[in-house]
Chain A
């Protein structure tokens, strides 16, 4: 059992809806973006194309962040998801240095979106976040426990995202990776990420 995700860059239209729903689902404070969409250009004039690449924690099978954590606050679930126990985190930020994908975020101070005013949504959501610790995407583990897909998968308007079990050869994600030539980011680092991209 190893949860993984396939992101089809051909289908992705770069609407950043996944980034938005990630913020609403997890109520992340300002400056904390567990999910981002970066726009990259490839090719040379006149054959140029713009590609939108959604980025989030890669949930590596060999996570460098887990190795360097001095307290073991970063841990791996048996289903392959890399998670952080915020109560154990001392805030040394070594994991942020170790992550080759820049997908870890440090909440350096408590901030709200509107200066001097906390909305009811923020009041409810910020109880899940504390200042001085590192946080990141956890594949919406609370939603998975309720039998739902991660919010970014469920809300992708072009169905570019597929979620499933990478260890199961007949699962939809495994088939997509096999048939469409799915690739990982920085495979040379030996981290073996659980997020695969399908070429645009």
Chain B
């Protein structure tokens, strides 16, 4: 364990300043949100006809990352590879954090957030938005179940010989602290079933999110059957990239024994997912450019050469081409470069969400003169604070599941620890 790259100190003291920073950012965001809450959405840059903006783009992005993250965890559980189990746990924490963020962005975007529960009381099931509420909630339950069963044994083991941790462990595992071989076997069986269910659920989650846009016949830029597959492929790319970054950060922060090989493997998957995304984008744009209706072509022109050209070409070069080359070339197949490529993919997918969402609204239509849309500082601040909240959630849940060792445990010789089944230090 001592030879882990960038190993931190003995306790979680070093994340104290990170957490303080995040909490300060969240507090600032809460104050900014109070401005929006009491003064209305007029403090944002939203204006007719562009009434969906940065919050909705973030919502789609977070849902995508969540769906892609759970795909990684499902893969691990179905293949049942022991050495990849910690990755599944990290992917599940990431998915849950981003799913909560997605729901948060919807609430931030609402004109009347106090009426949130009306969506359940007065549900109108012909609305794709309600399908999304249903699927997000079911998915959150599914993700939590996955995380519970894959992290339970690990949490219990970390508390062995630590009476102080017993209370929190009882709370986290809901009293299910059995570590016998039979119960572990049952865990694995349940996990496999949940993992098989979670694949179609992840597809449903992001397809329904795509259909919120894709089923609207009044918006030519959204109303395309390929939108759902396109969103799924971007979700997979951003999810894989997110897991890679999270795994890389977690092995430093939580000091989990994860080899470079696993990051290289995930990098290969990411390498394969990028051309699919590029291909679907190309298909969509070729079909529209060659045979689309005039309004549809107007939206495409806006993306390729108009106000969104900078975002589009940035995504094409920085979000698709450069990561593809970085992941493909043999001499950049190192964990460091793969993390760089993953970060670029994440930024690229976020850019993609904005240029698929906004140009259709900003085209103005035959009756509306558009003044365009640029997010205000308030929107950027609230967005940053929301992500700070997501990161804090990831950090805190991760710390609960991977608690730090005490000093005397670190004195135990390394080989004895490496023989544990989970690949973690036995606590």
Contacts and interface: CB of A to CB of B under 8 A. Distances in A.
A199 to B, nearest CB: 17
A92 interface: yes
Nearest to A33: B48
Most interface-central of A38, A69, A93, A131 (chain B CB within 10 A): A93
A182 interface: no
Contact of A96 (B40, B49, B121): B49
Interface in A73-110: 73, 88-94, 96-102, 105-110
A126 to B, nearest CB: 14
B129 interface: yes
A67 B115 CA distance: 20
A64 B133 CA distance: 19
A102 B217 contact: no
A73 B112 CA distance: 13
B111 A133 contact: yes
Contacts of A55: 367
Given A71-B123, A109-B40, A111-B42, A97 B110 contact: no
A70 interface: yes
B110 A91 contact: yes
B216 A98 contact: yes
A189 B128 CA distance: 19
Interface residues of B, number: 42
A142 interface: no
B126 interface: yes
Chain B's interface: helix, strand, loop or mixed, by majority? loop
Contact of B112 (A40, A70, A105, A133): A133
A164 interface: no
A96 B48 CA distance: 9
A194 B124 CA distance: 24
Contact of B48 (A94, A98, A105, A189): A105
Nearest to A87: B115
A81 B34 CA distance: 37
B112 A106 contact: no
B217 A67 contact: no
Given A69-B124, A97-B218, A111-B42, A90 B111 contact: yes
B127 A108 contact: no
Q: A interface, how many residues as a size bin? A: 35 or more
B53 to A, nearest CB: 10
B112 A89 contact: yes
Interface string A123-159: 0000000011110000000000000000000000000
A100 B112 contact: no
Interface in A33-51: 36, 38, 40
A38 B106 CA distance: 34
A141 B284 CA distance: 44
B40 A132 contact: yes
Contacts of A90: 110-113, 115-116, 118-119
B378 to A, nearest CB: 12
A64 B52 contact: no
B49 to A, nearest CB: 6
A92 B129 contact: yes
Interface in B79-131: 106, 109-113, 115-116, 118-119, 121-124, 126-130
Given A106-B111, A108-B41, A132-B111, A94 B127 contact: yes
A53 B116 CA distance: 38
B106 to A, nearest CB: 8
B291 interface: no
A92 B48 contact: no
A15 to B, nearest CB: 18
Of all A-B residue pairs in the complex, the 9 with the closest CB atoms, nearest first, are A91-B111, A109-B42, A132-B111, A100-B218, A109-B40, A108-B42, A72-B124, A108-B41, A70-B129
Given A71-B118, A108-B44, 19 more contacts: A53-B367, A55-B367, A64-B218, A67-B126, A68-B216, A70-B130, A71-B124, A90-B115, A91-B111, A91-B115, A93-B51, A93-B111, A94-B129, A99-B218, A102-B49, A102-B367, A108-B41, A132-B112, A134-B111
Interface of B: 39-44, 46-49, 51-52, 106, 109-113, 115-116, 118-119, 121-124, 126-130, 133, 212, 216-219, 361, 365-368
20 contacts: A38-B367, A64-B218, A67-B126, A68-B127, A70-B119, A70-B127, A71-B124, A90-B110, A90-B112, A90-B113, A90-B118, A91-B111, A92-B111, A97-B218, A101-B367, A102-B48, A108-B44, A109-B42, A131-B40, A131-B111
